[in-house]
Amino acid sequence: MMNWPVRPGRVRARSIVAALLLLTAAGCAGGGAAPAPLPGTQALVRSELYFGRLKPDGSVVTDAEWRTFVAEQVVPRFPDGFTVLDALGQYRGRDGKIIAEPTKVLLIVHGPDARPRASVQELRDVYRQLFQQESVLLIENPARAGF
């Protein structure tokens, strides 16, 4: 057996690397304890609504119609705020056809209680009725937020 000369700096570096690998593996294997919430944040819900703008007759919900919908339907239900994004969406309609259309994405962060969730559903129902839509996609996720 041959003894190689060991340099003190190399032993220390190897020990540190080995320790970091063990700590990383232990953290990965820990499996799921959520990090502690940041101060000033609270448990909320993030609702994303996807409003297709293509009408059954081939016309599009105009910018003016969208602004009226927001002013008359969204603002009264969520006066504390929301965000609107422009997007291009694609989906398969009930008839099996692929449809691509301009889309508005409405992001709302709200409390988890029943009232704002009912308001989100009301928005979906009103939009479907006003603009003859098959559906309005809703995605909800738990969120933590602070202002």
Kindly list the domain boundaries of the chain, sorted by start residue.
Answer: 42-145
CATH architecture, range 42-145: 2-Layer Sandwich (3.30)
What does the pLDDT read at residue 11?
A: 43
What does the pLDDT read at residue 93?
A: 84
CA 58 – CA 96 distance, rounded (Å): 17
What does the pLDDT read at residue 35?
A: 80
For CA atoms 112, 130, 50, 108, the dihedral sign is: negative
What is the DSSP code string of 119-136? Answer: HHHHHHHHHHHHHT-S--
CA 45 – CA 144 distance, rounded (Å): 8
Task: Please state the pTM of the whole predicted model.
Answer: 0.74
What does the pLDDT read at residue 52?
A: 96
Question: What does the H/E/C string look like for 39-103?
Answer: CCCEEEEEEEEEEECECCCCCECCHHHHHHHHHHHHHHHCCCCCEEEEEEEEEECCCCCEEEEEE
Angle ∠(101,108,60) on CA atoms, nearest 5:
20
The one-digit pLDDT tens for each residue of the chain (147 residues) are 444 444 444 444 444 444 434 444 444 445 567 788 888 899 999 999 999 999 999 999 999 999 999 999 999 999 999 999 999 999 898 889 998 999 999 999 999 999 999 999 999 999 999 999 999 999 999 999 988
What does the pLDDT read at residue 32?
A: 65
CA 55 – CA 142 distance, rounded (Å): 32
What does the pLDDT read at residue 37?
A: 84
Main-chain dihedrals φ then ψ at residue 133, nearest 5 degrees: -95, 145
CA 88 – CA 90 distance, rounded (Å): 7
